[in-house]
Amino acid sequence: MIDTRKLVFFSLLVAMGTTLHVVEGMIPNPFPLPGVKLGLANIVTVVAVYFYGLREGLAVTVARVFLGSLIGGMFLSPGFLLSLTGAVISTLVMSLLLHGAPGFSIKGVSVAGAITHNIGQLLAASLILRSSSIFYYLPFLLLAGTATGMITGHRLSILVARLEKTGIMCRHEG
């Protein structure tokens, strides 16, 4: 028996994630660094992982990267590969922290997600370019990731608390 509620909510998450991904991509990047994004699309990933678990989180992530790239016109481009790698790795790490290490709050998980997203992108880029020179950007990306992670983390903790309060969702136990 398919859980209709889960299906609907899941679709909502994918739709929102895709939109956020596309919109994010349209915001011009003020820094001379590749891959600095606000990480808004990460929000749906965290929500999915928090309320449903790793599998659903991965599904949402992969779906929103694919769809977002299709719509944004970047499908199968190197940028797409970077996004995908970063997003998947960050989803795995966030899931590990959310369910396996209860000492972290949503804010911390968000920061961890943001920086692992950036590191994942750097790894993918270094493979594409076959050069390690790109790690020159690492310190900056770590700092940027911490900042964006804290911002989205703050919003996320409010969002998750509200969702829990309404009673519709309850936290998935790892």
Partner 1 sequence: MPTVRGLPVGMKNRAIVWLLLAGFLAAVFGLFLYLRRPVEYRSEQFLMDTFVSIRVYGRDREKLREAVTAAFTEMRRIAELSNRFPPTGTAEHRTSDVCRINDMAGVGAVRVDQDVFSMLESARAFHDLTGGAFDVTVGPVMDLWGFGGKKPHVPKAGNIQDALALVDNARLILDRKERTAFLEKAGMSLDLGAVAKGYATERAVLALKRSGVEKALIDAGGNIRVLGKSAGNNPWRIGIKNPSREGDILAVLSLEDSAAVTSGDYYRYFESGGIRWHHIIDPRTGYPARGSRSVTVVAKDAGPADVLSTALFVLGPEKALETGKKLGVEVIIVTADGRLLYTLGIRNRLEVLDSARHRHDQG
Partner 2 sequence: MTRADRYLIAGVLCAALLAAVLIVFRWQTGSGRTCAVIKIQGELAGIIELSDKRKTYEFRGKTGPVILEVAGKRIRMVEATCPDRICVMHGWIERAGESIVCVPNEISISITANGSAPLDAVTR
User: How many of the chain's residues bind partner 1 (CB under 8 A)?
Assistant: 8
Contact 12, 87 (CB under 8 A): no
The residue (of 7 and 101) whose beta carbon lies closer to partner 2 is: 101
Count CB atoms within 10 A of the CB of residue 150. Answer: 14
127 touching partner 1, by CB under 8 A: no
Taking contact as CB under 8 A, which single stretch among the options 11-19, 29-37, 50-58, 87-95 is the one that binds partner 2? 29-37
CB of 153 to partner 2, least distance (A): 8
Minimum distance from residue 61 beta carbon to partner 1 (Å)? 22
* Neighbour-count burial of 123, counting CB atoms closer than 10 A to its CB (0-12 exposed, 13-18 middle, 19+ buried): middle
Structure tokens at 159: 């969002």
Give the separation between CA 9 and CA 14, rounded to whole angstroms: 9
Q: Which of 32, 102, 139, 167 binds partner 1 (CB under 8 A)?
A: 102
For 155, phi then psi, to 5°, come to: -60, -40
Applying CB under 8 A, the residues found at the interface with partner 2 are 28-29, 31-34, 77-79, 82, 101, 103-105, 107-108, 111-112, 115, 125, 128-131, 133-140, 142-143, 145-146, 150
